[in-house]
Structure 1
Amino acid sequence: MADRPTLTPRLRDRLGETLTLTQVGMIAERAARAFWPLWSVLCVVMGALLLGLHELVAVETVWAVGGVALVAALVLAVRGARRFRWPRRRAAVERVDATLPGRPFQTLLDRQAVGAGDAASAAVWEAHRARMTKRLESARPVPPDLDQSRADPFALRYAALLVLTVALIFGSFMRVGSVTSMGAGGPDLAQGPSWEGWMQPPGYTGLPSVYLNDITAPALDVPEGAQITLRMYGEVGALSVDESVSGRPVMSDEMAQETAQDFEVVRSGQLAVDGPGGRVWQIAMIPDDAPEVARGGGIETSYEGEAQIPFTAADDHGVVAGEARIVLALSEVDRRYGRAIAPEPRDDLTVALPMPVTGDRAEFEESLVANFSQHPWANLPVRLELSVEDARGQRGLSEPEILDLPGRRFFDPLAAAVIEQRQALLWNRDNAPMIGQVLRALTNRQGDLFRSEVQYLRLRGLLLRMERLARYGLTDEQQEALAQALWDLAIELEEGDLQDALERLQRAQDRLQEAMRNGASDQEIAELMQELREATQDYLRQLGRQQQQQAEQNPDMQQQMNPQDMMEMSQDDLQRMMDRIQELMEQGRMAEAMEALEQLRQMMENMQVTQGQGQGGQSPGEQAMEGLADTLREQQGLSDEAFRDLQEQFNPGQQGQGQQGQRQPGQGQPGQQPGQGQGGERGEQPGGGQLLEESLADRQRALRDELNRQRRNLPGQGSEAGERAGEALGRADEAMDGAERALRGGDLAEAIDQQSRAMEALREGMRNLGEAMNEQQQQRAGEQGFAEGGDPREQRDPLGRNSGTTGRVGTDEGLLQGEDVYRRAEELLGELRKRSGEADRPEVERDYLERLLDRF
């Protein structure tokens, strides 16, 4: 018999724990193999009860299935008990010993069979036993093997576990208890009363639905507008509903016992299901507050009359829409001159408020951007009222505010007079005779007021037309057409030419100097500075346009200039100079501000605008792009005239009545006064229709010849983009040829179609030509140290940045430096918001603008 191994107490305890855990694992392993069919059946039965499947079938079916399940469970339990064998300690020792090298447990239980009497042999044996004893220290519990794939090749145990998992997630333990009522107490007891209920919050709250059967708490918080749904089963009348949360009148017993009830929570109260298994809850309604809206800061109006009206809005669940309602404040209007009589009735002006594209709408600030300059109430007192709406349909209103409806202001006296008469015409068409007298006074002495004979003749023609139409009473269409013609004339008088722009700039400077002398407020100074900036930009545009025309007429003009006698200034330099003037005025240093303003005045009077190509004028690519742009504009004009003539064919005499500059009945006859025959340019001779079509065809032919000349001198030849530009312009040439043939054949519809194709091809050609020019410019970058006109290190791009030493367009400089960064960023962001809210823009463009707003 083998000697017992000598083990330390610590090792003995550790081996005992290892063998015990291994034995427990073996018990679990054998139990799983013996009883997996039993617990699979139990999982399926429990899952069916949790899901309430027993409530969907007849009670007989429930009892039948239950009996089968019970018998199956008993059979499987007996089978599992017979197959289960309790693992002995010896089996745990053998399992652990099999995981250790040399099987140390078995070695310690063995005895020396050979050489037991030999001392040397005995010493070797004892050394071997000591080594095996030390190896026992690495013994670890052996995990059980719970794999049942051989006993369950179809994985039925996992299907049963899945059923139980789904039931635990979507089922309810309350349904398990209902199976106890399906006893043998008769049909009434077998199909006893039961109920179900749900609370569905409004979708805009973002709250989850609540299954009332699972709510055992006596109190329940419910948002206003939540929908309560109750369903009663079993015998009618066994269950009834008592509630005071819906605001319904006192219900009769028949109404309370209805098996299907749906109502909305409109107040706090009690909800009870009376009867067997009933429940009572105290409902605390969470009110849905109405949204709020208020006007924000000051209203800003641009030179063109575009107004930004800030406002703030808030709601507990978010604002979904809003609008601004504008009503004429008649009691605040100066009722003199053209407004002495009662105004014509007009609908209230309603404008949708812009909503944030992204972010939370629970509380936000936005600005309504719109241009009301052409509205009859522009610059008149109005009552502004803002309203917003939440998802529940509740509306919030702002305090009504009396203000002048923002609109464009006209600084030219003649333009302001024309606008005043336009507003009088829109105020009431009965003012037409009085307006005629005022316009006659304006046209009495042409040379004193009008800088252009064309403007005089336009106003004279409008005067005669208004007087003739007023004799028979103006219709709505005639009133609108005359008002539009007066507006267009006032814009032309206000914008004018270079001299007009210079006068406007000088008026802005004079007004600013006057404000300095009179100690104007900071707000007035800011308004006058904005007027000065806009007048400066307009003057620079007009100056650049005039110098471009002069350069085309006299190409040697710029070469005669001495660059050494010139000082270059960018748009940023002018902007910084005007910012400095405003800063000096705000600091009260009026003498220095007036000196700087005088320097600005002298600089503007002596300024010349360059086109960014040094002294060499425009590059060939820019000249080609400009020529194609002119061709496109002329083609658009031809298409517009052809379209008007097509309308005249279907509605004779109607087109001329609503369009300025068209022939009117009785005009164009010999002996007319100046201004009466302004429509003769569109063919008033006998057979004028045919002559007009021939004229349009000749002009189309001339435009096509001009395009062919431009194609011969097209830059970018040899590049892929240049080839595409040539192909596009070739298609434009073919379309122009088709339009010419259609015009000579009298087919105006076909001519308009061909002209549209020509314009599309011209646009595509210009895009491709621009790409070709960019490619050429990139190829030249780095190959020349000095571009035409001087050192590229001293040149600036259109944004006022240095173009770098390699002549490349982009630089590492920021677009703006100094304190203007944040102001300019806010202006750009406001412009993006304004354009994204304009519904007449293409959807693709608005989507792009919204993506930009999402990023910034």
Structure 2
Amino acid sequence: MRHSSDRLAEAVEGFARPIRLTLWAMVLERALRAFWPVLTLAALSFAALAFRVQDVLPPRLMLGAMLAVVLAGVFLLALGLRGLRLPGMDEALARVDARLPARPLSALSDQIALGSDDPAARAFWAAHQRRMMQAAQAARAQPPAPDLAPRDPFALRMTGLAAVVIALLFGAPEHLFDPAQTGAAPGAAEAAMGPSWEGWAEPPRYTGKPAIYLNRFDGARLELPEGTRFAFRFYGEPGAIAFEESVSSPAALPVASDDPAGLLRRDFDAVQSGRISLGGPAARDFEVEILPDDAPSVALMGVAERRADGKFAQPFVATDDYAVLRGQARITLDLAGISRIYGLALAPEERPDLVFELPMPFSGSRADFSETLVEDAARHAWANLPVKLELEVEDGRGQLGRSEPYQLTLPGRRFFDPLASALIEARRDLLWNRENAPRVAQWLRAITYLPEGFIRREEVTRMLRMVVLRLEAGDLSDEAVADLTETLWTLAELLEDGGLADALEAMKKAQERLSEAIRNGASPDEIAKLMQELKEATDNYVKMLAERAQPEEGPQFGRQQESQQITGDQIQQMMDEIQRLMEEGRMAEAQELLDQLARMMESLQVTQGQGGEGDTPGGQAMRDLGETLRRQQELSDEAFREMQREFQQGEQPGQSPQGEEGEGQQGGQQQGQDRPGAGQGGTEDLAGRQRALREELGRQQGLLPRMGGEAGEAARQRLEDAGRAMQGAEEALREGDNSAAIDHQADAIEALREGMRAFSQALAEERNREQGQTSDQAQLGGEGMQGQAGREVPRDPLGRAQGQGDRIASEREMLQGEDIYRRARDLLDEIRRRSGERLRPEDELDYLRRLLRQF
């Protein structure tokens, strides 16, 4: 009977290669486990020799260290041999088999134990063997797994490996077996034995190249940058070492050294290619080639750009062999390109050139870089005038590189307000030549003569008149001119940025400035800033309308026509569309849409106080609530003034003198007369007036039209809150606690505002529900249909009366009439007009475009 191992060998004969490779891997891992200490010692020794420790240690100490290393290596090697146990083929097979499911390699060596005479059992066993053979096909060689971490808890093996890597990178392994050169370096010790020398070649620091110790330099040819500094030191008797060089100009002469270890030195800069020869026991000849250092160069990249804040941005590119050290931009006035008219007709006063430091990169190479010069010259006398720009850069050797003079208009801040722009021009004339002072004073006096309707801010008028007086006084010093021009600049900024009376005027002004910028070809940065200002002004205007929510104090926002409503979101979409068109360069379309926005806002202003909700019960209720809000604000102001008087007189709240009480009663009589529920004869105190105002609010709540929806419910709730706050204020006033009364009155004012806002929203929702329904009078008409003003109602190209958007059909036959072709043309024009209205729904615009493509 054959041994089981024989059967196993026969079974796995087809898998010998992965098993053999696994066997060698196991041999390697056991060798590493046994010999890692001696290998670590060998790695550390190699690193020490590669770093030339033999040149530093004395010979005896070096010999002792080598002997200690050898003895330690023999000891560690013996320990490794003692613990080494080589693996067998069975162990390799077991490792490969352990990585396979169901250990198929071992299963192949098994024999059937029972049922060998049974054909069914033998067939089952054969199927099992085939399945195991298929599973054994996945056998692969296993890598070594030395698992040294538990055996080396201090990671000494990693230290040795790191030392070898560092030695290969930074050491001198190629000179590993060279004899020690202790004492071979020249210096004081060698000088005692005879004449010697030392030399260094140090390139300029800006080149970034390292210094060279010539005594250790093996070659005879040196390639060095221009300006390299050579330094030689000679030891021994003077003249014992011959020295010649032809790289400096003039040739360097021997100089006595302050170093007590030496006698002579020679230091010089290399400016040309040549030779350096040294005699004596360590004679050397160096062939020196000087690499030329070219001058730097600088050039402009594109045209200077004016930014929205008035600063100008000029991109440029600079290059050099090594690095650009610094640079500057010089701006000079181009008199030849200036139209010498008006204030510029006189000769300009002498002014120094404008000089700006060029920005340098903070990191990276300065040999080739591009940057952008950003400076603010908006307040300079040459702003927006023709100038010449020249860039200059300097390298480490002091060489200069200049760009070609470039003619441009010095960018400065642009003022779109006409008066502000005129003040800036007057300021420029005064800076150009102070002899323009009489002319500027005459012009300023003319515009301040009748400023009403022309200068919107009274403080601007007063300041301009003061400027006129100082200009007419004469004898303008430099300080006076600087002060006057600064005043004119401040006034221009005030007119440009903050000279608008209210949010509506600010929105109009922002529209005009944006339109002016589009027509004048402003930069994208300027247009983006003006577009942002228009958005902010429009948002402020909408916010003002929402806060007031009073039809008589503002336009009926949300109603442009009876058949068209415009929301704040639609206005925002329109402004976004304007910005998109400008970014795409479609300025004509952007200007057209901007004009449409301006007309829309103007129409919103025209509806102010004209019919609409004011003629309806809802409109009257809004006016009554607005009046109640105003009276509550006045009452709160009086309560606050009463509290101030009490504190000023040193009395406690609620103990005001009789005289002031009578005065307050008189004020209440004046403000309370002709008001419903204001009291009798105007003799009531603040608490009585608060009670009357609360009763008036209750009466108005009873007259409010019933509005459904969340907005109507919110309006009623907020008005009830206002009534409760008024009652609290009344009780506090009766108790003499003016501070608590003012707090309750503030709550009442806020609740009234919120209630009016919610009520206005409820009215708008109610109007939207009723908008699609047409009155009987509007449906009865025909050709002779008349409006309330006795004129014919205008009709659209389909024959429908305008304002009846819910009616699809027309009461007239489209193909009747004398000129059906004209009607078709009108219909096509109407389709084109509606397709150009970007506020219409996208589905409708798509339908109109398809109609235009068809016809």
Q: TM-score, normalised by structure 1?
A: 0.46
Larger radius of gyration: 2
